[in-house]
Chain A
Amino acid sequence: MTQPLFSLKVPATTANLGSGFDTLGMALTLYNVFSVTELLPDGTFACEVCGEGMDELQDARENMVVTSYLRACQEWKLSPRGFHLESCNAVPLNRGLGSSSTAVVAGVTLAGLIAGKEIPEAELLRVMTLIEGHPDNVVPCFLGGMTVSCWDGTNLRYVKLPALPDDLYVVAAVPDFQVHTEDARRILPESVPFKDAVFNVSHASLLCAAWAMGRWDLLRVGMEDRLHQPHRARLFPGGEEILTRIRRHPDCLATAISGSGPTMIAIVKGPAGQLSSEMCRIFTAGGVASHFFVLNSPSSGTVVERGQA
């Protein structure tokens, strides 16, 4: 097999973490791999996709790696050199594990790589966030670990928190249906009561402080939310039950909807099998098939390997 010119290993992410709507996100040890095997004339693109999305993502004109690449080239006034892309996708599509963010991160990163330009990290992340519309997937996807991001539509500020300890795992239970981010956004209210806003400010602050100080005993409370989860948990069978029942499991530190769902996550200390099975059993009771991953949070995010030009 020919060695690719560039190969990017890009992690899944879980975002909107509990009280940290559009703010807190974490990279996970589940990866999409994007490889540029050949450079083509400007504006000419070809895509081969295997694994997740192999039926939906083959059209190069709509492939999000390509569209993000073109947008970044436009942003930085770079010549849009075409390429042949191979995507091997393991991150489930439209399930709340940041599959689209892996494509955005890959496309924007490739724009700098192919042009041979060193784009500063902050600028890469700004353009990624501009394309994605929110920062809490793309920032941890690119940087790794757990991140806090603040985006006002123009400026991005972010902080990477200490890594999740190796003895804590993220169980991601993935039901067999898709939720589109736009639909999940539409269900949210236009405004929230002041007391709910205060509730989330206090809980998100507690969550960040607890994470920074390693106070894992406070995760359960810190991840409580009144902005999005009460609305979105009703969008799919099992959502509410997992949030309330699984969080009482003795090995469970916290539960949350991953991204805009329908994947549900639990942060676990100790053996994960019984708890993971329980999460999937709840989906089954709702008539939905599912599977699960037991993941860590990698300290490194997107990894680039260069072949020979």
Chain B
Amino acid sequence: MNDIKIDLDEDCIHVVFLGLPNIPGGAAKIFGALCEQGVSVDMITQNTMRGGRSDLSFLIRRDRLEEVIPLCREVSSKVGAQGVSFATEVAAITVRLKAGSPETPQVLAKMFSTLAGAGVNVEIINSTFPGGTGAVGTSPMWATVVCIVSLTHAEEGMKALRGAFGV
């Protein structure tokens, strides 16, 4: 299918600030510190939890890990997070489909059912559609869905998706 592209990125690392207090300034300190080091991030996600705390996660590139670890540990302490974890054994499966395609809902349903059928647990999902916020690495011509999965299941997921969509 020419209207769908599927890519695998094994060069990303998932960083999670656990139990960040829900007070203004936490995210500013974290991304300010990363900016000072020139570290680019992608797929920023914040989960609201009860108890006045939330988890904040994002992706960095693998080659920045050594400098990001001490930086995040220091900021974690400053912002009163409960801890910061790193997952190096992850991959991002990206499915792109032509913007405005009327088949978008069907493609999404098929994509997730295919991953589920292959036993691939999706840890994080992020999507960008043209006219939306325009996340890093996305094209205005393509709707993009990114799934973060464990490296242990990444190849199976890719194989299943390529089979399902014939690409």
User: Which A residues lie at the B interface, using CB under 8 A?
Assistant: 1, 12, 29-33, 35, 48, 50-51, 86-88, 90-91, 174, 176, 271-274, 276-277, 280-281, 283-284, 287-296
Partner of B86, one of A88, A90, A293: A293
User: Separation in Å of the A174 CB from the closest CB of chain B?
Assistant: 8
CB of B124 closer than 8 Å to a CB of A: no
Residue contact B150 to A289, C-beta cutoff 8 Å: yes
Give chain A residues whose Cβ lies under 8 Å from the Cβ of B84. Answer: 293
User: Which B residues lie at the A interface, using CB under 8 A?
Assistant: 14, 16, 18-19, 22, 49-53, 55, 65-66, 69, 73, 77, 82-89, 150-152
Q: A50-B53, A88-B51 are in contact. Are A293 and B85 (CB under 8 A)?
A: yes
Residue contact B89 to A30, C-beta cutoff 8 Å: no
**What residue of chain B has the Cβ atom nearest to residue A12's Cβ?**
B83
Partner of B69, one of A88, A272, A291: A272
Partner of A30, one of B22, B52, B83, B151: B83
* Secondary structure dominating the interface of B: mixed
4 further interface pairs, Cβ-Cβ under 8 Å (given A51-B49, A277-B65): A32-B82, A292-B85, A292-B88, A294-B73
Q: A271-B66, A276-B86, A276-B88 are in contact. Are A48 and B51 (CB under 8 A)?
A: yes
**What residue of chain A has the Cβ atom nearest to residue B123's Cβ?**
A289
Give chain A residues whose Cβ lies under 8 Å from the Cβ of B55. Answer: 51
A-B contact pairs, 29 of them (CB 8 A): A1-B22, A30-B83, A31-B83, A33-B19, A33-B53, A50-B51, A51-B18, A51-B19, A86-B50, A90-B82, A174-B85, A271-B69, A273-B65, A276-B86, A276-B88, A280-B89, A281-B89, A284-B89, A284-B151, A288-B152, A289-B89, A289-B150, A290-B87, A291-B86, A291-B87, A293-B83, A293-B86, A294-B73, A296-B73
Q: How far is the CA of A30 from the CA of B69 in the complex (A)?
A: 15
Q: How far is the CA of A186 from the CA of B6 in the complex (A)?
A: 47
Q: A51-B19, A273-B66 are in contact. Are A292 and B51 (CB under 8 A)?
A: no
Residue contact B66 to A33, C-beta cutoff 8 Å: no
Give chain B residues whose Cβ lies under 8 Å from the Cβ of A88. Answer: 19, 49-53, 82
User: Separation in Å of the A215 CB from the closest CB of chain B?
Assistant: 25
Q: How far is the CA of A293 from the CA of B77 in the complex (A)?
A: 14
Q: A30-B82, A90-B82, A289-B152 are in contact. Are A274 and B19 (CB under 8 A)?
A: no
